[in-house]
Structure formats: C-alpha cells, structure tokens
Structure 1
C-alpha cells in the first residue's frame, strides 16, 4: 500500500500489532487471578475506589458489596466485556505484572522496525485500543522490543468513544487537528475500519493468521507491506 499523503498513523493493538493470544492467554488470565486480592487490598486507594464506584454505577446498585463488584468484574473478564472501569483496573494489575517481570508485551516482529521508521520520517503515531491508555503504555513500554513509548504522540481508549462507531473517529480527527484523509487507521477488525472510513480516514486491514479479510478496505499481511 502506498499512501504518500499520510501524516498520522493510528493503530489498533490486538490482532494488529500484537497476537490476540497474548491478551487472551496471558493478560486476561493474570488479571482474573489477581483481581480479587487486588481490589480487596487496594479498595481505599482513590484511583481504585473511583473504579469500584464506576462498577456500582454500571450495575445501577450504588450500595453493591465489594464481593458483588469483584464478581461482576470477573464475569466481565470471562465474557470479554469492553467496560471502562474493568479496563482501568486491569491496567493497574498489569502494571504490577509488567514491573515485576511476570511477562513482556508481545509485538509481531514486523511492527517495531516500521514504527521506528515512520516516527523517524516525521509521521505522528497513535494507539487506539479498547484496552485502557495505561494498559497500552505498559504493553509498548515493557514490550519484547524494548520501550517504544517515545515513538507515540498519543493514545486513545474507550473514553474517546466505541471503536465501531464513526463518532469516536470524528473525535480523534478533532484531537489530531489534521485532515481526516491524512490519517491512516490500522486494524484487523472490519467494523472498526468501516467506522474510521465513515469519519474520512484512510484505512488498512491487517490480515494476520486467523483473520478474515474484508472487501471494503486495503489489506496487508504485515507492516512490511505498508509504505507511507
């Protein structure tokens, strides 16, 4: 793919820069295992208390017990729910795991060289993932390729909007203050690419192993096939 007008690249994580199995077989199980003790022992900590309150608000039960909050969070992990307070708490738990060396953030081997090349060429790089901004920074900060966070100009999560809705991408365009057609969005998910395209962005689907290629967007099997 050759897109000479691109000034900014926004990339998804799961299935795009990172093997989905890393998230589902390493990060999610770790959070599931650690969450009950973490929430119990940190419930008075302001940032944790804020997320506990947010879970109660989601349940529409302001006096829900802490055990009920934990039960709900575990259910959300088990059913892969994209709920903001869960993502925030997972990020806190993963931070501890990364810092203790329990795991490193997985990246496909083709990703880091091209991120560095694009940043060196003056392209603005951003992440947009359903995982929290904190979780995004941890994955790239403690990655198998070292700390890549200096390459990025910014990060977006579900606070900006849902990834399958065009309004979220319109908000991002407004934040970047660039023409929408000078922004390239990379993802493995057709519905996300559809939403970005509706907002005027250029789009490209990463078709990694196990991904079904769509017909409405340019495709690449790896970052090696992307030329900006």
Structure 2
C-alpha cells in the first residue's frame, strides 16, 4: 500500500535536541515559577496544578510545593503530561514576546514543504505537548510552518515506545497503519510503530545506527514513495 501520511517526531528528528535541552527547558525552568504564581487560579493552569498533585501523590501540596515538584520533573526530564502542558503555556508567552524561535532543520523544512505539495498528509507525534509542538512549527526560525500539518499527537495518545499508541494514532488519522511512514531518532519508538504496522525511517543525524530500520542522516534522503 502506498504511503499517504507521514508522522514525524520532533526532538532529534525535525529539530535539534540541543534546542530543547539548551533553550526550551532552561527558559521554562526560569519562567515557570512566576507564571504559576501569577496564574494559579486560571482555570487551565489550575487544572494542570491539580494533575501535578494527583500524579505526585501530594494532594495537599500548596502552590510553592507544586512549583518545587515541577522544577524537579524538569531537571529529570520527566515525561509528565501536566508538566508538558504548563511548559507549553510558558513557552507560548516566550514565543509571543519574540524571546523564542522554534528550531527546525533546513532539510526538514524543505522536505515537509515538498511532501505537503505532493499531497502527503503530515502529522506530528512528540512527547512535548500539542501546544508546544504548534509553537515550534508556528513560530519557527523558518517562519510559520503550521499550515503544513494536518494534526498533532502527544503523550495523551499514549507513551511513544508502546505499540498501542501508534494504533490509536492511526485510527485518529483515519489512515491504515500500512500507509503511514513514521520518522524518529529513537529505535524503541520506531520498533513500536513498526509493530503497529507502520513503515519506519530512522534519523541518525549524528551517526550511529537504529537497527531494524532504514537509516538516513537528512530528510533530503527520504522518499516516501519508496516505502
């Protein structure tokens, strides 16, 4: 079955890992405490703070304790959904203020634009929140790329290393898994997508090998029609 849709990871795939760890995470760590203090009673923020209390098992935690928990999660790169949601809110302020620009590799920009023109549906699946994904592409250093994508998926669809997550995403895309090409730099994610029936391609921008999958060093080397 020919490929009709392309599902891509962000970190290490379309974008540099260093952008996330050296720019986004430090920005969130610096600005999240004051953001939470200022907006703790805002409905969407309050909902996520309550989720932090639930996930941490500290139902009675006050705002300052919740901030401590969040900063600890940032330090250990915890893939916690409420943390990702709050980080996204903080980053949104940074992007809107012009303090942040999303990094997307030039080869990824060119390929995504080409594939969109060729009629492939493009989707994103990242551990970062959907809001954060939209900001990276919508406020990228290459301009607003958000119009290229038909949809976004995050950990609310399930963990990225579990086969069932990719089955859910395929259903949500209304596209058979066999007609979806998944791109990532993490072999466990590629394995899970392959087990769900998707075609896979591994990005090895800094060398190495993702066993069991086609490996490329650039989006320029990917031809969806060849899968």
- Place the TM-score, normalised by the shorter chain, in its bin: over 0.9
Counterpart of 2:204 (choices 187, 204, 207) is 207
Shift in Å, 1:6: 0.9
Q: Which residue of 2 aligns with 1:33?
A: 30
Q: Which residue of 1 aligns with 2:168?
A: 171
> Which whole-Å deviations, capped at 9, do the CAs of 1:181-208 have from their partners, x for residues lacking one?
1100000000000000010000000011
Flag as ranges the 4+ runs of structure 1 deviating above 6 A: none
C-alpha separation in 2, matches of 1:177 and 1:97: 34
**Structure 2 contact 204–210 (Cα < 8 Å) conserved:** no
C-alpha separation in 2, matches of 1:117 and 1:65: 50
Q: How many residues align?
A: 224
Shift in Å, 1:95: 0.3
TM-score with structure 1 setting the length: 0.96
Q: Which runs of 5+ in 2 are unaligned?
A: none
Shift in Å, 1:109: 1.2
Shift in Å, 1:61: 2.1
Higher helix fraction (1 or 2): 2
Q: Secondary structure at the match of 2:200?
A: strand
Counterpart of 1:99 (choices 89, 96, 99) is 96
> Which whole-Å deviations, capped at 9, do the CAs of 1:32-57 have from their partners, x for residues lacking one?
00011110010010000000000000
1:68 is aligned to 2:65:
yes
Shift in Å, 1:64: 0.9
Shift in Å, 1:66: 1.0
Q: 1:121-200 maps to which residues of 2 (within 5 A)?
A: 121-200=118-197
Q: Which runs of 5+ in 1 are unaligned?
A: none
TM-score with structure 2 setting the length: 0.97
Query: Alpha carbon RMSD of aligned pairs, Å?
Result: 0.9
Shift in Å, 1:175: 0.9
